[in-house]
Structure formats: C-alpha cells, structure tokens
A = this chain, B = another copy of it.
Amino acid sequence: MSVPQRTAKSILEIAAEVLVRDATASLAQVAAAAGIGRTTLHKRYPTRQHLLVAVAEESLDILDRAVTEAIGDDPGESLRDLVDALVPLGPRLEFLLRQPSLDAEPELQARWVQVDRPLTEFMGRVAEAGLLRPGVAPWWAVSSLYAVAYTAWEGVALGKLAPLDAAGLAYGTLMGGIGR
C-alpha cells in the first residue's frame, strides 16, 4: 500500500499524456510522471523508440477498437457514432501525428492503413446509400472525419468549445459544412 493507486493508469497511458504535453520530454520525465524509476522504465522499454512505438501501437489499438465498435448497420447513425468516438481520441491522434520519430516506423504507417481500411469501406457504403455528395471519394470522407474530429478536440483543449458541444459541432460541420 505504499503506492497510492496500484497502476490506476498504465505506464503507456501516462507516457502518452506526458509526450503529448511535451513531445521532447525525456525518459526521466516520463518515469517520474509514472511514479517509477528510470531504470525500471528501461527494463520494460529498452529504448526510447521502443516506448514511443508501444504508445503508438496502443493508440492505434484504441483507435481501431473505437472505429470497429462505432460502425454498425445504419450508415447515418454510425457516422454520428464515429464522430462521437473519435473526438475524445484527440490526444492519441495528436501523438500519432506529431511525434517525429514515428515517421521512421513503416510498420506503424502500415498499421494505420489497416485501421483505415474498414473506415474507408464504410464510407463507400455510405456513398452507395446516397448519403455523400457527388465528388466526395471515400478516402476524402475519412480524412475529413479525422480532420473535423481532431479540430473539435483541439477546440475543447483550448477552452474554446464546451466538451459536450464538441461532437455535435463536429458532426454538423462534417455533414453540412460551415455554410448554408
């Protein structure tokens, strides 16, 4: 009982938080934030790069799960569920997009393509259901979904947007744009 909470948050979760707040944080900072020694951190993740990749993989797992769960039978409803699911994943997306060392990991890029595949196929079905404007390719719909979800989360993080309004605004903008 010396430790207040026994691994309430996993090391990877804390590492993700720290590295999103400061992408150049040293391993000492990560270890300190996790309440463990730097040596222990090295034992689990031999290299800084190993740690970064592990965080990235976990992030992709979370993303994958969220996407899989959100996609259902009804295209329209699923779209709304997707937005709801993706907005809170902002920090993970930020980590994946902003951590420079990840560019050197082809496996991660491949993995992301893998995650995007069901999403793109889903958008194809949405298009076939006549719910997409002509000229909007499935991949573009996916990219727009990411963009609007991430932007909404950013708005929340900057205090410009109420958390409860974020997903709604994102969904409205995705489907109807900003104009009328």
Question: Which residues of A are at the interface with B, using a C-beta cutoff of 8 A?
Answer: 22-24, 97-98, 100-101, 103, 130-137, 139-141, 143-144, 146-148, 150-151, 154-155, 160-161, 169, 172-180
Contact of A179 among B147, B155, B176 (CB under 8 A): B176
A74–chain B nearest beta-carbon distance, Å: 14
Task: Report whether A155 and B143 are in contact in the complex, using a CB–CB cutoff of 8 Å.
Answer: yes
A-B contact pairs, 6 of them (CB 8 A): A132-B180, A133-B180, A140-B160, A143-B154, A144-B178, A147-B148
Known A-B contacts A103-B23, A147-B150, A172-B135; A140 and B97 likewise in contact (beta carbons under 8 Å): no
**Which residue of chain B lies nearest to A131 when distances are taken between CB atoms in the complex?**
B179
Task: Report whether A155 and B140 are in contact in the complex, using a CB–CB cutoff of 8 Å.
Answer: yes
Task: Report whether A179 and B172 are in contact in the complex, using a CB–CB cutoff of 8 Å.
Answer: no
Task: Report whether B177 and A177 are in contact in the complex, using a CB–CB cutoff of 8 Å.
Answer: yes
Task: Report whether B178 and A24 are in contact in the complex, using a CB–CB cutoff of 8 Å.
Answer: no
Task: Report whether B173 and A136 are in contact in the complex, using a CB–CB cutoff of 8 Å.
Answer: yes
User: Which B residues lie within 8 Å of A155 (CB)?
Assistant: 139-140, 143
**Which residue of chain B lies nearest to A146 when distances are taken between CB atoms in the complex?**
B151
